[in-house]
Amino acid sequence: MIDVAVLGSTGSIGTQTLEVIATEPERFRVSALSAHGSVELIAQQAAEVHPDVVVITDESRAADLAGRLPAGTTLDVGPAALEAAAASADVVINGVVGFAGLGVTLATLNAGKRLGLANKESLIAGGPVVQRARATHGAELVPVDSEHCAIHQCLRANDHPDRLARVVLTASGGPFRGRTAAELADVTVEQALDHPTWSMGPKITIDSSTLMNKGLEVIEAHELFGVDYDDIDVVVHPQSIVHSMAEFSDGTTMAQVSMPDMRLPIGYALTYPDRMGSAFGAMDWTRAVTLNFEPPDRTTFRCLDLAYAAGRLGQTAPAWLSAANEVVVEAFLSGGLRWTAIGELTDEALGQWDGTLADSVDSVLHADRRAREVTRHIISGRR
């Protein structure tokens, strides 16, 4: 029986993780759940799976939750409790949103446990810090992300790491694929949130529309697999069936193919190096399938190259970029900016990166804080 901590259990990744676990109850036991403030949902989840501990990070909601947990389940509060829950499980699914997820990542890896990582900030902002934790004996990092899970699987077919020539990340193209910058000048928030393939939260959906999400995944791929930025390509694949590819020195390209279903990479992270007995995203190859690939429009969707630029700068530049983009996207969602301003203002903010080294968690947090201050100042000057 594998003890699993599902942290960020009330979000999309967390709820789907519990669905996957429920298909093989003889194999998995949920030892911990966590949420920031979703009291009603996490109480319902706790009643269903009876974890050892439930962590709520918003202390003001703890009293509401205290009397709603089943017998035998302990309530803990705050970031330290979150990290303790991570360190005590066999496998941790990190679906925590934002920088709170970095502490979970480090606690899991430093404890020598397997981490199923769905928290982008951990690798984008804290990559150099996380790399040191990955060296801990017994630590494993398995990505819970369709593209990086695909690469992880493709690399299993290669016994010689030096023969990896290139990583190719696929992108759906988002809701604005094929449209020019002029055509996008007056798009609405509702249009930007209308993703053609995936159902995601507002922030990541807007990032998909600008290709920033794919750019951040480029940084993640570099950190996860040690591939140089010159050897990471992005192609637009609107069907979202080929989730990514790895090309080897002899010209062979390995691809991972399935219908879009996040339960597949979640199950893969839970069972690696084994696989789930339940099929998620299985293809019906008796039906005709057409797959299209095209290069991204890097002029209209300039955020993709901003991510490459931040990645090449290294240190805390990716943390700076991520924070700046988050502030700009918040302003767009609130109706204060045009869609085309997202790339413009994020570019301006990245140009003011202060060069802080990523030598500790505190330095990463400093970069995040300063980037937000700088970006808010830039936005205020535009209004």
The per-residue pLDDT for range 283-316, each reduced to its tens digit, is 999 999 999 999 999 999 999 999 999 999 999 9
What are the pLDDT digits (tens) for 42-55? 999 999 999 999 99
**What φ, ψ does residue 256 adopt, rounded to 5°?**
-105, 125
Q: Which helix (H) or strand (E) holds 326?
A: helix 317-333
As a whole-number percent, the residues of the chain with pLDDT over 90 amount to: 89
Cα 195 vs. chain centroid, distance in angstroms?
Answer: 17
Task: List the alpha helices (DSSP H) in 72-143.
Answer: 79-88, 100-110, 120-124, 127-134
Question: What is the pLDDT at residue 199?
Answer: 65
Give the whole-angstrom CA distance, residue 11 versus residue 339: 26
> What are the pLDDT digits (tens) for 332-354?
999 989 999 999 999 999 999 99
Question: What local confidence, expressed as pLDDT, does residue 121 receive?
Answer: 86
108 CB contacts (<8 Å, ≥6 apart)?
Answer: 86, 87, 89, 92, 94, 114, 115, 139
Give 233-268 pLDDT, tens digit per residue: 999 999 999 999 999 999 999 999 999 999 999 999
Strand 2-7 with 28-35, pairing = parallel
Strands in the chain per DSSP E: 2-7, 28-35, 53-56, 74-77, 91-94, 114-117, 140-143, 164-171, 232-236, 242-248, 253-257
- Residues in CB range of 145: below 8 A, 6 or more apart: 117, 118, 217, 220, 265
Question: What is the structure's pLDDT at 198?
Answer: 65
Is residue 121 a contact partner of residue 144, using CB atoms and an 8 Å limit?
no
Whole-number average pLDDT of the chain: 94
pLDDT of residue 382: 77
The string of pLDDT tens digits covering residues 127-152 is: 999 999 999 999 999 999 999 999 99
pLDDT score at 98: 82
pLDDT the model gives residue 159: 86
pLDDT at 383 over 70: no
